[in-house]
Structure 1
Amino acid sequence: MWGYAFIAPAGLGLAVFYLWPVVRTGYFSFTEWGAFGGHTWSGLDNYHRLLSDPEVGRSLVNTLAYTALGLIAIPLAVVFAALLNRDGLRGAGIYRTLFFLPVVTMPVAVAMIWRWLYNGDYGLINHVLAQVGIDGPNWIADPDTALFALVVVGIWSSLGYNLVIFLAGMQAIPKEYYDAAAIDGAGPVRQFFRITLPLLSPTAFFVSIISVIGSLQLFDLVYVLAGSGQTARANPAFPRMETVVQLFHDRAFATNDRGYGAAIVMMLLVLIIALTALQFRLQKRWVHYG
């Protein structure tokens, strides 16, 4: 009973603030809400509407594309972690702090800074490009560059967190492995591919799970960079930036279509569970054949 008593506060918080909202949202996804509140049971109408809504498909494609491109942050974090893990590196603590600063910075502040950097008229990026004779686009208002601009911000924001996790994984690898490899004539590059990467696979698996889930839930960066509601839809690049959570927010709170919004977010929940299960299955196959 003492064990249950000690986990009761955390368990109660988990049930009240996480599990119960999931159950309620699942119930609301089968209802239709009126303009002044109140709801009625509508069965599978919201899910039938999901299948025929082109905006749902478009936001889903954008979210999956952002998630796939955002995985570039994982190999980048591995490379930078390996560089910071070298013996005798001066100022390693300063470098780690600089890499980690975006993680502890409020996402809204990050998005505001990048919104200024991306500005097509007075942004710093286009100013630098103009010095070498390149006319830069309006990055977050051009449909050809909006998604990639969003991906760059996401990678920059998550790189520090991934780096710290990988650095902890590298420092847990016994140095005797590297000493034995050096005696056998293996250089730093071969040691990295033969020792570091294989032993980092559990860490990489954890980072990939966290990265995919975080990318699928992207909202704040899009909300600040592109706006919401009519303001966002005035941006010609918004169709390339709208994510599933952004669409859920507009439906549930801007247009007060909460039943349909709940169905959208339940679809996202199923997608997250499916992709996480797929990653676990791939990890087991990797370990088995490795």
Structure 2
Amino acid sequence: MQRHRVTEALWGYAFIAPTALGLAVFYLWPVLQTAYYSFTEWGAFGGHTWTGTDNYVRLIHDPEVGRALVNTFAYTFLGLLSIPLAIVFAALLNRKMRGVGIYRTFFFLPVVTMPVAVAMVWRWLYNGDYGLINYVLSLVGIDGPNWIADPDTALYALVVIGVWTSVGYNLIIFLAGMQAIPADYYEAAELDGAGPLRQFLRITLPLLSPTAFFVSVVSVIGSLQLFDLVFIIAGSGNAARANPAYPRLETVVQLFYDRAFVTNDRGYGAAIVIMLLLIITVLTALQFRLQRKWVHYA
């Protein structure tokens, strides 16, 4: 019996070995290497020297880091609007209606569209001179701003794109969660005289809390790593900084890219990305803790 258990354990480790090896090589090792480089300074022609905590001291006193953090947190917080929108749309599409598959496909299309294509289309829509949004506003006598170049509207314009691209993914997750709720609950509620709205508030929403927790964790992690939309819409380096709204668009990952690959300050860039990793870890742990308290009180 002991030999049989050892054989089973060896076969189990053999099956997970390829995945474990891939995670170690492509995820764990780069994280450890980046953590090491965050304590170094790189030369213009390669090579690095150990500088201790100098990069982290510089990071604390860098006002651009604080500005990027504020922008990233603001985008993350406002981007959570996609969760209630996805719940509402999922409830509407969780009904027997003609063409429901087509509607679901339309909602999911932004998810499978390349981020570069999405950014280029929205960049044209937001253009202050010939963009479609300003053209429609001009028809009713409204002079629209240059959405991406105006510091007052740049971040909100970015949030609209983020919400538009994430609603479809969240909708599919919530739709799967709704379809997993037993129909007996709704039938019993209907016999007791509960209408559709009361059923949604008393049955659907409480039973969707695990799904909402998963979606919120994934949404926060994804929003904190925002880069591609900003890079395509605003660019990087000196060309991006010429945009008057760039201080409202720069995110932590964008700042990391500029420091590590534009100015070749790779040690400082590594410190920035390790800071972001710690922030994501803390916020995810906090969400798990809040979820456990929510379940306990419920």
Deviation string 1:89-109 (CA, Å, 9 cap, x unpaired) is: 111100110000000011011
Using the aligned pairs only, state the percent identity: 80
Q: Find the residue that maps to 2:87 and give its secondary structure.
A: helix
Are 1:18 and 2:27 an aligned pair?
yes
Counterpart amino acid of residue 31 in structure 2: V
SS of residue in 2 equivalent to 1:225: helix
Counterpart in the other structure of 1:173: 181
The one-letter code sitting in structure 2 at the alignment partner of 1:244 is V
Indicate whether 1:107 and 2:103 are aligned. no
Q: 1:31: how far off?
A: 0.3
Aligned counterpart, 2:190: 182
Tell me the CA shift for residue 5 of structure 1: 1.1
Tell whether 2:127 aligns with 1:127: no
Give, in angstroms, the shift of residue 29 of structure 1. Answer: 0.2
Per-residue deviation, residues 223-244 of structure 1 (Å, max 9, x unmatched) = 0011110110000000000000
> Which of 116, 139, 163 is the matching residue for 2:147?
139
Q: Which runs of 4+ in 1 moved over 6 A?
A: none
1:194 aligns with 2:195: no
- Is 1:54 aligned to 2:77, yes or no? no
Q: For residues 287 and 23 of structure 1, what CA distance do their matches in structure 2 show?
A: 35
- TM-score relative to the length of structure 1: 0.99
Deviation at 1:3, TM superposition (A): 1.0
Specify the SS of the correspondent of 1:27: helix
Query: Which residue of the partner structure matches residue 95 of structure 1?
Result: 103
Aligned partners of 2:54, 2:139: CA distance in 1, in Å?
A: 56
Q: Which amino acid aligns with 2:28?
A: L
- In the alignment of these two chains, the number of paired residues is 289
Can you give the 5+ residue segments of structure 2 that lack an aligned partner in the other structure?
Answer: 1-9
Task: Select which of 152, 156, 166 maps to 2:160.
Answer: 152
Report the AA paired with residue 239 of structure 1: P
Deviation at 1:191, TM superposition (A): 0.2
Residue 73 (structure 1) shift:
0.2
Deviations 1:91-128 (A, max 9, x none): 11001100000000110110000000000000000000
Which residue number corresponds to residue 3 of structure 2? Answer: none
Deviations 1:109-165 (A, max 9, x none): 100000000000000000000000000000000000000000000000001000000
How many Å separate the matches in 2 of 1:183 and 1:175? 13
Superposed CA offset, 1:139-196 (max 9, x none):
0000000000000000000010000000000000000000000000000000000000
Letter in 2 for 1:221: L
Q: Which runs of 5+ in 1 are unaligned?
A: none
Q: Using the TM superposition, give the Cα deviation of residue 6 of structure 1 relative to its aligned residue in structure 2, in angstroms.
A: 1.1
String of CA shifts for 1:206-264, please: whole Å, max 9, x gaps.
00000000000000000001111011000000000000000000000000000000000
| C-alpha separation in 2, matches of 1:217 and 1:97 | 26
Work out the CA distance in 2 between the residues paired with 1:96 and 1:208: 21
CA distance in 1, matches of 2:49, 2:94: 59
1:85 aligned onto 2:94: yes
One-letter identity of the residue aligned with 2:153: T
Which protein is bigger by CA-based radius of gyration?
2
1:3-23 per-residue CA deviation (whole Å, 9 max, x = no partner) reads 111111111111111110000
Question: For 2:259 and 2:297, how far apart are their aligned partners in 1?
Answer: 45
Of 272, 283, 286, the residue aligned with 1:275 is: 283
1: CA distance, partners of 2:71 / 2:121: 23
Task: Provide the rounded CA distance (Å) in 2 between the counterparts of 1:258 and 1:93.
Answer: 48
Matched residue, 1:45:
54
Deviations 1:4-55 (CA, angstroms, capped at 9, x unpaired)? 1111111111111111000000000000000100000000000000010000
**Residue 70, structure 1, aligned to residue 79, structure 2:** yes
